[in-house]
Amino acid sequence: QAFALLCLLLSLAEQQLYVVAFVSPTKCVSRCQYQSIHLAPQQLGEFKPINLVGDEERQIDRSTRRVWLYDFVSNAQEDDKILYEEAWDLQKRLMEQQLSRIGKRPKDPPLYDQFVPLHVDTKEVSLAGCDSIIMLQHDPVYTLGTASDTSFIHDYDGNGDNTSLIPVVRIERGGEVTYHGPGQLTVYPILDLRGYNQDIHWYMRALEEAILLALEKAGVSGATREEDVTGVWVSNKKIAACGVKLKRWVTMHGVAINVDIRSLENFGGIVPCGLEGREVTCINDAIDHKQYTLQEFAIHMKAALEEIFGITLLSTTT
């Protein structure tokens, strides 16, 4: 019900064309020298931390870079799940509102106008065009990227069905087939990269970095990247997957982190990410001292996203 109400409010905001005018810095924001962290050798680009420096007229730090958080995990019951199509529709709405805000702007529009203004009441969910992050768990579904090979779904019959009866949805992200379902934390950032770094490789590495940091906070040791592939790995098993789409530097889709044992149940029906012979794992298999719930790990993931992207997350009221 809360999810349906949120979609209705977003639809009304879109129809009213209620896009906030934001104050932007009048001077260029300089970047400090970068220092890499958590880095393994990468041929797919590097992660470089965001270093924000304000100017004489405006402070630029995490407190001013406010991003909406559509959190369907923290206050939900353990079994509350969102249908894939519903979350996909929400992503598309948020992206279109971002694109409407950007409009036909110059190649390099003012920085930081995608963030929620400081004077705005955080209970005003009708704001359209702001950076947003969605956090949820899905009902079971296999998703295919734009050019994914259906042969990586076992028993796929060519008519869009498979004998496991798990829905198959082809979407507009990159990458091969993956699985979403209960026990897995899925995060969809809808961000205008003009306020971060206009580089898709940097963005992919930043998503991985946020996962690595969250896993570290949760006590998972040995998590790492692997050369020439996306995602995060523990003991040679994949614990998190990444797949995104960008349109005019606005992002959608995102990451999925396997938290509890339920998240692994249906990976046997596919070749995850098209990587033959590679296994998957979850947080609760990787640690002995604690068994995490989705809600508990979400706390670490939110903190990691704020740190890596230099933002403050504001939960919406639905």
Mean pLDDT on 52-73: 81
Q: Give the pLDDT band (50/70/90) at residue 25.
A: very low
The secondary structure of 108-176 as a DSSP string is: SPPTTTTSPPTTS-TT-TT-BS--EEEEE-BSSEEEE-TT--GGGBTTB-SSS-BTT---EEE-SSSSS
Would the pTM of this model clear 0.75, i.e. be above it?
yes
What pLDDT, on the 0 to 100 scale, is given for residue 55?
55
For all residues of the chain together, what is the average pLDDT?
80
What pLDDT, on the 0 to 100 scale, is given for residue 16?
36
Mean pLDDT on 122-133: 74
> Is there a catalytic annotation at residue 273?
yes
Active-site hit among 7, 28, 130, 273: 273
254-295 pLDDT, tens digit each? 999 999 999 999 888 777 676 666 899 999 999 988 999 999
174-191 pLDDT, tens digit each? 777 889 999 999 999 999
Residue (of 94, 67, 71, 134) closest to 10 by Cα position: 94
